[in-house]
Amino acid sequence: MDRLTPVEQRAPGHWQVGTVGAVKPETPRVKSFSIELPMWMPHLPGQHYDVRLTAPDGYRAQRSYSVASSPLDEGRIELTIDRLEDGEVSPYFHDVVVEGDQVEVRGPFTSYFVWRGEAPVLLVGGGSGVVPLMAMLRHRRRTMPELPMRLVYSVRTAEDVIYHGELGDETVLTFTREPPPGWSGHTGRINAALVSEAAPEPGTAFVCGSNGFVETASALLLEVGFDPARVRTERFGPTG
Ligand SMILES: Cc1cc2nc3c(=O)[nH]c(=O)nc-3n(C[C@H](O)[C@H](O)[C@H](O)COP(=O)(O)OP(=O)(O)OC[C@H]3O[C@@H](n4cnc5c(N)ncnc54)[C@H](O)[C@@H]3O)c2cc1C
């Protein structure tokens, strides 16, 4: 029997060379990269890809980046990358990668931090942790706009709001450092009152951000009555 069916050839895990399309600055330190993939396969909102860079001397660095786009965008994925000052991979994307470049990726990965249409759903993101949540929001808008989904999004200042043009009534923002002038909404860290306001009834929750953010936010969700089995978390980095 011929086992090399087209489906098997497109299974995740194979490195492939993608071509960078549009590069969109989102904030002063965050950019979105649209990447066309020759072996594209639909992802589930919440999944990520691995990206691998190889230096001329053969040195390799590999990092994970969540898919920000809906799986309805056939043939391409969007990755949104926060530039870490002393980082290896994220500054390369920001400072070097331009439209038309080729990048090596493999995915999509993860079966736990994915949204499969559960409702109601509360998304809780800190900083670039909003990226996989955006894939869920975008996909819900295009497939089941009536489905109850809210986003609680914690950012430092107004200029740090990623996807600001796309956030609508479903989003509750809180500014932890400096709110924009005239802001009458939430400020400071996410607290129980904010979570209860966004999600009057506990349902499924997706929490993503730095380790510290995820710890605090998921503890809050349990405090306001979320079932631990329905709180899914994704941690992006080592700092709090
Ligand atoms: C499943 C998954 C999905 C991810 N999705 C995204 C995404 O969509 N967008 C995105 O921008 N990043 C995402 N990340 C983080 C990403 O994989 C890298 O860790 C990040 O880009 C830093 O890589 P670097 O090579 O630039 O820095 P490194 O060279 O790895 O690290 C530089 C310094 O920054 C610290 N550091 C590393 N990662 C972080 C972090 N996330 N926050 C704060 N400090 C850190 C390190 O301890 C070190 O001191 C994701 C991580 C995981 C595990």
Atom of ligand 1 at shortest distance to CA of 64? 17
DSSP state of 119: S
Q: How confident is the model at residue 1 (pLDDT cuts 50, 70, 90)?
A: very low
Judge whether 6-109 and 121-236 match in fold: no
Across 67-222, the runs of DSSP E, i.e. the strands, are: 76-82, 102-109, 121-126, 149-157, 171-178, 186-187, 204-209
CA 76/CA 64 separation, integer angstroms: 17
Domain spans in the chain, listed from the N-terminal domain onward: 6-109, 121-236
Atom of ligand 1 at shortest distance to CA of 86? 32
pLDDT one-digit tens code per residue, 74-131? 999 999 999 999 999 999 999 999 999 999 999 999 889 999 999 999 999 999 999 9
CA-closest residue to ligand 1 atom 31: 87
CA-closest residue to ligand 1 atom 41: 237
Domain 6-109 has CATH 2.40.30.10: yes
Q: For residue 84, report the distance from its CA to the centre of ligand 1, in Å.
A: 7
Q: For residue 92, report the distance from its CA to the centre of ligand 1, in Å.
A: 13
Q: For residue 237, report the distance from its CA to the centre of ligand 1, in Å.
A: 5
pLDDT one-digit tens code per residue, 127-181? 999 999 999 999 999 999 999 999 999 999 999 999 999 999 999 999 999 999 9
| Cβ count within 10 A of residue 100 | 9
The β-bridge partners of 60 are: 54
CA-closest residue to ligand 1 atom 40: 237
Q: For residue 228, report the distance from its CA to the centre of ligand 1, in Å.
A: 26
Closest CA to 10 of 106, 74, 104: 106
Pocket test for ligand 1, best of 30, 47, 63, 92 (most atoms within 8 A of CB): 63
The β-bridge partners of 50 are: 64, 106
Atom of ligand 1 at shortest distance to CA of 92? 26
CATH number for domain 121-236, candidates 3.40.50.2300, 3.30.70.330, 3.40.50.80, 3.40.30.10: 3.40.50.80
Protein residues whose CB sits closer than 6 Å to any atom of ligand 1? 48, 63-66, 80-82, 84, 86-90, 128, 131, 210, 234, 236-239
Residue 2 is predicted with a pLDDT of 47
pLDDT one-digit tens code per residue, 204-235? 999 999 999 999 999 999 999 999 999 999 99
